[in-house]
Amino acid sequence: MQPRFLIIGAGITGAVLAHRLARDGASVTVVEAVAPTSGASGRSFGWVNASFFLTEAHFHLRLAAMAAHRSLGEELSRPYQPEGCIWFEETGEAFDRRHAALAALDYPLRLLDRAAIAALEPRMADPPPRALFFPLEAAQDLVGLAQAALASASSHGAHMICGLAVEGLVANDGRITGIRTAAGEISADHVVLCTGTGTPALLAPLGLQLPMLRRPGALLVTRPLPPLLHHILATPDQEVRQDPEGRLVAPASAHHQGDAAEGLPPPQEMEQATLMRLRHLFPNAFIRPDRLLMAERPVPGDGLPVIGAVLPGLSMAVMHSGATLAPLVADLLALEMGGQGDQPLLAPFRPARFFAGIETAPA
Ligand SMILES: Cc1cc2nc3c(=O)[nH]c(=O)nc-3n(C[C@H](O)[C@H](O)[C@H](O)COP(=O)(O)OP(=O)(O)OC[C@H]3O[C@@H](n4cnc5c(N)ncnc54)[C@H](O)[C@@H]3O)c2cc1C
């Protein structure tokens, strides 16, 4: 008989994992406290990239994840179409170091001069003297992608329960055998936590303390504009892209991926400051705000993803840069939970690094 999987959390990670497991014939139920993509996934900049990384293993995971977006796009009939990123977030020696590091890793890139930047983005004011172009990077609409993944999961028999918070995990003789909710217990052969910032609260009663960094993020979305910007743009003080509806989507903090701020300024202040930067970049556009979205980013204590088996019957996948990583992580975790052996790309990102003394084990 196929094992029964309970996936907790319907952000991009839980949604893609549900698709993967259900497609391969597993029995899958997804339990979500609020609604699909109501967490970080519904408020993400969605930049799929490997140009930002913390360690070499992190780079290789991100690079493989970019390829996984392509195959997921084919499976879900949502072609992955990289528009590329024009990057000059760092300048001077920091720019040179990033260029050298990425070139040494054979990351696809091109060095652009001012004229080439102006040709790619003619409406941007004051193009810088140089930038890196990353042709394989893309922006993903995580809400649409998660919806498509959940629809596919459901077409393969997966069940979805929304508006039901998991209050605890049921343990029997060291094995997780289900979940506790206000509506009663639900049993399973394997529970997978895709719960983002909600994860520490579920692990703590088991004596497992998962440290998370406090990393609130905010995103300004403008009203639709005529075509203005063709690529993802990463400048020293603003990242921005234009979505298919013509809206500019812009994190309210520069360098948002590596941003270490634990608090945010008041919303109105963030909105005004971001608008000012956007208007400076595109002085001829009539840029008006539509909404400011805020979410806690799920950043584990060392900044790196936490993926894999925790206890018998329990696995987890919690990560920042989940817009980039989710399709690959879902693939690899599904293989591991299906008994296909440890996946080497995941080795540096195991939960055990935080849970000293606890022997983690596969299903
Ligand atoms: C402003 C911002 C910008 C970002 N930009 C990028 C980017 O450019 N590139 C990139 O790669 N990443 C980016 N990220 C990070 C990325 O969006 C996240 O890593 C990713 O969305 C995490 O997805 P997830 O499914 O793991 O978690 P989430 O989307 O947070 O989903 C977790 C789900 O679990 C549910 N849940 C939690 N606890 C329980 C419970 N007890 N019971 C039931 N359900 C529960 C929640 O309701 C939620 O729906 C950004 C994030 C933010 C906020």
Residue type, 184: G
Joined tokens for residue 264: 């945010």
| Residues 281 and 328 grouped into a single domain | no
- For ligand 1, what atom is nearest to the CA of residue 167? 41
Do 137 and 66 contact (CB within 8 A), yes or no? yes
3-state secondary structure of 60: helix
List per-block mean pLDDT (blocks of 10 residues) for the chain, which spans 363 residues: 93 98 97 98 97 97 98 96 96 97 98 98 97 98 98 98 98 96 97 98 97 94 98 96 98 74 88 97 97 94 97 97 98 97 98 78 46
Assigned domain for 271 exists? yes
Phi and psi (nearest 5°) for 98?
-65, -45
Ligand 1: lining residues by beta carbon, under 6 Å: 8-14, 31-34, 38-41, 43-47, 142, 165-166, 194-196, 198, 202, 217, 219, 251, 256, 295, 297-298, 319-324
Residue from 143, 194, 270, 297 to probe ligand 1 pocket by mutation (most atoms less than 8 Å from CB): 297
Which of left, alpha, beta for 157 (phi over 0: left; psi -120 to 50: alpha)?
A: left
Do 107 and 85 contact (CB within 8 A), yes or no? no
In terms of C-beta density within 10 A (0-12 exposed, 13-18 middle, 19 or more buried), how is residue 77 classed? exposed
Assigned domain for 22 exists? yes
Given this model, what pLDDT does residue 263 score? 83
Choose one of 293, 320, 339: the last residue of a domain.
293
Assigned domain for 54 exists? no
Assigned domain for 94 exists? yes
Given this model, what pLDDT does residue 362 score? 46
| Residues 189 and 237 grouped into a single domain | no
pLDDT tens string 174-210: 999 999 999 999 999 999 999 999 999 999 999 999 9
46-244-119 Cα angle (round to 5): 90
Residue from 7, 43, 45, 256 to probe ligand 1 pocket by mutation (most atoms less than 8 Å from CB): 45
CATH number at residue 281: 3.30.9.10
Q: Where are the alpha helices (DSSP H) in the chain?
A: 12-23, 56-75, 92-104, 114-120, 142-155, 199-203, 267-281, 322-337
Cα-Cα-Cα-Cα dihedral sign, residues 363, 41, 202, 164: negative
Assigned domain for 174 exists? yes
Q: Which residues of 111-125 are buried (b: 16+ CB within 10 A; e: fewer)?
A: ebeeebbeebbeebe
| Residues 171 and 204 grouped into a single domain | yes
Split into its structural domains, the chain has a count of 2
CATH number at residue 327: 3.50.50.60
357-358-362 Cα angle (round to 5): 145
| Residues 268 and 249 grouped into a single domain | yes
Ligand 1 midpoint to CA 121 (Å)? 31
Assigned domain for 57 exists? no
Assigned domain for 52 exists? no
| Residues 25 and 148 grouped into a single domain | yes
DSSP letters of 111-171? EEEHHHHHHH-TTSSS--SEEEEETT-EE--HHHHHHHHHHHHHHTT-EEEES--EEEEEE
Assigned domain for 70 exists? no
| Residues 201 and 316 grouped into a single domain | yes
Choose one of 293, 310, 331: the last residue of a domain.
293
Residue from 30, 32, 44 to probe ligand 1 pocket by mutation (most atoms less than 8 Å from CB): 44
Q: To 10 degrees, what angle do helices 56-75 and 322-337 make?
A: 80
| Residues 161 and 289 grouped into a single domain | no
| Residues 201 and 243 grouped into a single domain | no
Given this model, what pLDDT does residue 261 score? 80
Domain residues for 18?
4-45+142-213+301-353
User: Beta strands 184-187 and 216-222: pairing type?
Assistant: unpaired
Ligand 1 midpoint to CA 329 (Å)? 14
- For ligand 1, what atom is nearest to the CA of residue 146? 25
Choose one of 245, 276, 293: the last residue of a domain.
293
CB atoms within 10 A of CB 236: 13
| Residues 189 and 313 grouped into a single domain | yes
| Residues 115 and 246 grouped into a single domain | yes
| Residues 280 and 229 grouped into a single domain | yes
Ligand 1 midpoint to CA 37 (Å)? 7
| Residues 225 and 202 grouped into a single domain | no
CB atoms within 10 A of CB 165: 15
